Structure 1
Amino acid sequence: MKTIKSKAEFERVFSSGKRASHRLVRVTALKGDEGDLGRVAFVAPKRLGNAVYRNRCKRVLREAARSCGLPVPGYDVILFATRQTHESSPSQVGDALSALLVRSGVRDE
């Protein structure tokens, strides 16, 4: 799974991307070039808790992204953990993520 790493790439997606929120996960997505392979970023801010807590949130997000078929070719997607991400199962987060991908225009219904 190819990930977004540089600060400039993050800022590009933040400034121009479309946002969608759910209590379990937040998504920011930006359509890129057609030939471009899709990329994904997993974010768990420090305000959520210590490193162990944040890493668990990112593991749940990664598994949910895998189950939803991310990365989608031609799209850069950033997934943000919330406080409820930690207590949720990857399948619950995956269901929420699927709905958010449709809402943000990454996927058709």
Structure 2
Amino acid sequence: MTPPEAPARSAGDRPPAVSLCLDIIRKRADFLRAARARRQGAESMMVQARFRDDDSDAVRVGFTCSKKVGNAVARNRAKRRLREAARLVLPHAGRPGWDYVLIGRRGATAERPFEALKADLAHALRKLHRDA
């Protein structure tokens, strides 16, 4: 059975994976650099963004949820939803050479309708890049 927030797929489609179109931030130092840069809150998440000074044009993204979000099951569900939203929104709204960190919020990230979650991310990215 497919979860209600999962997008419709045909039988031949490959499962989604952020790594197919985006680079993943895994090092703590990169998360800390993003934390010192721009941030924009949305109803369902906090988005931190920074322009990298290296020559890479890749869009990189990281995901995090603190224990305030809930137990491991709740945190993993919130991160799965953030990953899927990033996979769908960042290739269009993200900018080359930028790092983005998406931070889940208690209750809101896991419970918000998926279309609203995507709209929150797109809105936060527009506001972050408006001043850049």
Scaled by the length of structure 2, the TM-score of the pair is 0.73
Moved more, 63-72 or 21-30: 63-72
Determine if the alignment matches structure 1 residue 52 to structure 2 residue 52.
no
Residues of 2 paired with 1:63 and 1:89: CA distance? Answer: 13
The 5-angstrom pairing of residues 14-29 of structure 1 reads: 14-15=35-36, 17-29=37-49
Residues of 2 paired with 1:85 and 1:30: CA distance? Answer: 22
1:102 alignment partner in structure 2: 126
2:32 alignment partner in structure 1: 11
Structure number with larger C-alpha Rg = 2
Residues of 2 paired with 1:91 and 1:66: CA distance? Answer: 13
Q: How many residues are paired up? A: 107
Counterpart AA for 2:98: Y
Residues of 2 paired with 1:73 and 1:34: CA distance? Answer: 11
- Structure 2 portions without partners, runs of 5+: 1-21
1:86 alignment partner in structure 2: 110
Q: Which runs of 4+ in 1 moved over 4 A?
A: none
Give per-residue Cα distances to partners, 1:29-66, cap 9 Å, x unaligned. 00114742111001111121111100100011011111
Identity of aligned residues (%): 34
Scaled by the length of structure 1, the TM-score of the pair is 0.87
SS of 1:23 mapped into structure 2: coil
2:99 alignment partner in structure 1: 76
SS of 2:112 mapped into structure 1: coil
Alpha carbons of 1:58 and 1:43: their partners in 2 closer, same or farther (altered >3 Å)? same
Counterpart AA for 1:41: G
Residues of 1 paired with 2:80 and 2:95: CA distance? Answer: 19
